[in-house]
Structure 1
């Protein structure tokens, strides 16, 4: 019995020793770590909400019973994310006791934490905004929280909008743009399968010093690519003298913090005045011609049997300004971005109606795997692949000559024919062989 007991104890000890490293920090793989971080973040948030609900329950304040449902939803989401993260755990081979993880340099851990935080900053700035606005009201008396709001958040927001930087680009920071490009490549290499580039237009671009309009397709749920594609080394090497201004939706500049990020990255609002000014000052712009209307049709790309990439061709203003400014049109396709996120609530008709009425599609809930608002890898997911096509030389317009509607229509049609040709030339290599291109106005 003693020998049996000793043998059994040895088995238990060996089993424990072989498995104890399972929960060591820094182990399990990148996706496991990121989902764990978000799961525990949701759990901590649910505890704060639960404490707040309990506070009002004790005081018998009935008007806050509506908080019970979102609190329960956050708690359930936390459990689902934490449980789901276990499916991503990857144990290191040949390191049963976790010595490699425990002995890893702090630099490696800090790099991972930095890249995960950067990914959160890139794709979830709205959560930072919501937290900054709500947390003071959750943990402080209402009067104190309101004082913080009026004395700190509001002045900071107003000061940031002085001088109309969304039109002038006055708050653009080259150092931030360089960091943005470097971080974009790092997080895609680590988390999302990498970034690749194909450039067809390097020989003819800026020939004779002509202006350029880089038209980016499609408008995914979160088209960060339009801000970054021209900051990446492949583009800089091909077009060393080209530095486009990115034109984005005006609503971005009405949101605190998101407007700061956009301005630091060199973005300006997509208005005719800003469009012309940017072409005069920098000689090139980047924009998404399809606009936010393409968000409403983005779910069609996720259809299980008949996926369609839908480009909205209704807008023609960018063609008219290109003709007016004698700027060549350069098609840019981004393969893969539309598959990084999907709308958690797909109501195309309602979203199209709210877009027409308010300028933004509602409801809008971009989600990744397990409803985590990050573009984590998923089945069928694709790495990003940018394709820059040959510039379309716009017809010459004599000084004082009117730009006719027929000329705009003809140039617009020729441009989208180029886009279709570019798509069909590269779709197979990008993994889009079964995805049909649809041009809809």
Structure 2
């Protein structure tokens, strides 16, 4: 394979953008392991008392990820996120104003490999979420597993990440006075295994838990489609039924996280690596679906709202696809 190296005269601005994207990839793929190793080393060193004190703090703070988290405007406003935004570039588009006196569930599609659009738009201020939606506070939901990792949990909560458990979503949706936005990558880990350029298949037909909670708490449902999310990485072919896919599904059941075999570009060359490609990502926040609070929703209530949500998501995609490089014949597929 011929390797295409990056030119030596790359402008400083682009180098900073690449560095910002690199630290983001590192945070997703390796920071948790590094934090865990540091905690173990601290516990085995002469500074073991610090590890013991932190363990006590961890016990006292165990429920914070399911109780709204602990965000930091300072961390969300770091300058590095501006470079991260410009690497792709990343853009957040509002279609209508949202009432800050209500709570919302944003259904984010597609999941992609590393949810770049979800992180950049809703865990940082790089694309101006609080300016676009004044009075609203965004929370991106993440697998509960990651909030059990010492030190790492503190960092991800600073960006507004919270647990994706039922208790966590219920806490956000039931806030008196409104103002909470819960962002859910509806397709979850299984959808990440299908994330590759050109993919328009969403795993959503059997995803109804967020619909039930929206009804139970009266939270407004908002479809969100992120154009370009699947264009950031190539992935090894793993069709349903293949040996690789069966292994990935098995590992997902055991570990709770997806293991996509993906590749992108490198830092100093463009031929291979784990860096995302420089492809534009435009995240469109659609119109809210009004939800009447139903403390004990029936299966019929859930199914009706779910169908309305799918129709709204499809409409959002169809209204915007031509503007972002998709052809008339390309449509979403729900599985």
Q: Give TM-score, length-normalised by structure 1.
A: 0.62
Structure 2: how far apart are the matches of 1:160 and 1:117? 33
Shift of residue 429, structure 1, vs aligned partner: 1.2
Deviation (angstroms), 1:271: 1.0
CA contact (8 A) 2:36 2:150 kept: no
Within 5 A, what are the aligned runs for 1:102-117?
Answer: 115-117=17-19
> Where does 1:60-71 land on structure 2 (aligned, <5 Å)?
none
Structure 2 unpaired stretches of 5+? 239-243, 266-270
Q: RMSD over aligned Cα, in angstroms?
A: 3.4
Secondary structure of 1:350's match? helix
State the match for 2:72 in structure 1.
173
Counterpart of 1:263 in structure 2 is 157
After superposition, what is the alpha-carbon deviation per residue over 1:270-317, rounded to whole angstroms, capped at 9, x for unaligned?
111111112234533111122111112224xx3xxxx43111112111
1:373: which partner in 2? 274
- Give matches, 1:33-432, under 5 Å: 84=3, 86=5, 88-89=6-7, 91=9, 115-125=17-27, 126-130=29-33, 147-148=44-45, 151=48, 158=55, 161-162=58-59, 163-164=61-62, 165-179=64-78, 182-189=79-86, 191-192=87-88, 194-202=89-97, 205-206=98-99, 209-230=101-122, 231-281=125-175, 282-299=179-196, 302=197, 307-313=198-204, 314-343=206-235, 346=238, 347-362=244-259, 364-369=260-265, 370-377=271-278, 382-397=279-294, 402-432=296-326
1:210-246 deviation line (CA, Å, top 9, x unaligned): 2211111111110132233244454333311111222
Q: CA deviation at 1:173?
A: 1.6
Cα deviation code 1:83-112 (max 9, x no counterpart): 8353x31658xxxxxxxxxxxxxxx96x76
- CA contact 2:43–2:51 (8 Å) conserved in 1: no
Gaps of 5+ in 1: 1-79, 93-107, 136-143
Contact 2:92-2:127 within 8 A present in 1 as well: no
Distance 2:318 2:285 in 1: 14
What SS does the corresponding residue of 2:44 show, helix, strand or coil? helix
State whether residues 185 and 195 of structure 1, in contact with CA within 8 Å, keep that contact through their aligned partners in structure 2: no
User: Which has the higher Rg, Structure 1 or Structure 2?
Assistant: 1
Q: Conserved in 2, the CA contact under 8 Å of 1:188 and 1:195?
A: yes
| Larger RCO (CA within 8 A; separation ≥ 6) | 2
What is the number of residues matched between the two proteins? 315
Taking the aligned partners of 1:228 and 1:153, their CA distance within structure 2 comes to: 33
**Aligned partners of 1:389 and 1:422 also within 8 Å:** yes
Contact 1:177 1:265 in 2 (8 A): yes
Aligned in 2, Cα 1:153/1:287: closer, same or farther, shift over 3 Å?
A: farther
Report the Cα distance in structure 1 between the residues aligned to 2:263 and 2:57, rounded to whole angstroms: 30
